[in-house]
Structure formats: C-alpha cells, structure tokens
Amino acid sequence: MSATSLTALARTSDPQTLLRRFLALDAVVTGANGLAYLAVSGPLGRLLGVESALLLALGAFLTVYAGAVALLASRARPAGLPVRAVIEANLAWTVLSLVALTLWLSPTTAGAVWTVLQALTVAGFAGLQYAALRIRQGSSD
C-alpha cells in the first residue's frame, strides 16, 4: 500500500497522526471484541462452537491488550519499540488463530469463518501499523 493511499485512508498526511490512528483503530476493535467475549461468552460460545471459558479468558486478555494499545496510541509520538511489539503481537495472534483453527478447535461454521475473518483483520492492523511506522521513520530522516 502506498503512502498516498495510507494517508487517504487515515485522512491525514502527518506521519505521527497516521500511526496513532491505526493504533487507535486496533485498540477500539480489539477492545470491543474483548468486551463482547466477556459480556456474552455463553451465547457467543454456542454460536461459534467454542467453550465459554476460553472466550472469557480471551476477552480478559484482549481487553487488557486493547488498553495497552490505546495508551500507546495516546502518546504524541509512540515509541518505535512498543509499536513494533504491537505489530509482532498482531502477527502472532494471526498465526496462532489459524493454527488453533487447524489443530485444536472444532468450531461451528460460523466459528471457523469468524476465526479466519478476525485473523485477517488483525493481520490488516499489523500491515497498516507497519506501513505507518515506515512512513514515520522515512519522514524523520
């Protein structure tokens, strides 16, 4: 994705704001997902074919993770190392989701589709954040 298309997507050409917006979007979506897992783990577990205890644990983790990403996004200039950690965590989540789907989970069709879609979404966040970080690094040279 080019710098021009990224800035159009984020509606800013400021490299700091670009990165912060993609981090904030990640935090909002991840937080909403985590809160949903916490609030309605029983019905979601039945729909997705996943144990509600697993959804509760994932919900707690995702809510805390989203808070950390939101805190990072709130910084005027998010430090590169924590941003890279978020990118790598997102990539790890993507891989682990697909591995779990293949090797451990036996979800419903809705659960399998959900797992793939959320993995792709998280990979998309990682890609946007990586590109925004690269643009920021290029602008500071």
Mean pLDDT (the chain) is 92
Is the pLDDT score of 139 beyond 90? Answer: no
pLDDT of the residue at 137: 84
pLDDT of the residue at 105: 92
**Residue 141 binned pLDDT confidence (cut-offs 50, 70, 90):** very low
pLDDT of the residue at 136: 87
**Of 31-35, 56-60, 131-135, minimum mean pLDDT range:** 131-135
User: Cα–Cα–Cα angle for 9, 12, 18, nearest 5°?
Assistant: 80
| Cα 135 to Cα 51: distance, rounded to the nearest angstrom | 41
**Residue type, position 107, single letter:** P
Query: Cβ distance 52 to 42 under 8 Å?
Result: yes
| Cα 35 to Cα 4: distance, rounded to the nearest angstrom | 34
The pLDDT of 15-28, averaged and rounded, is 94
**Residue 31 binned pLDDT confidence (cut-offs 50, 70, 90):** very high
Is the pLDDT score of 4 beyond 80? Answer: no
The pLDDT of 1-7, averaged and rounded, is 58
| Cα 46 to Cα 131: distance, rounded to the nearest angstrom | 37
How many CB atoms are closer than 10 A to CB 1? Answer: 10
What pTM value is reported for the model?
A: 0.88
* pLDDT tens string 39-91: 999 999 999 999 999 999 999 999 999 999 999 999 999 999 999 999 999 99
- Both tokens of 44, joined, read 């979601």
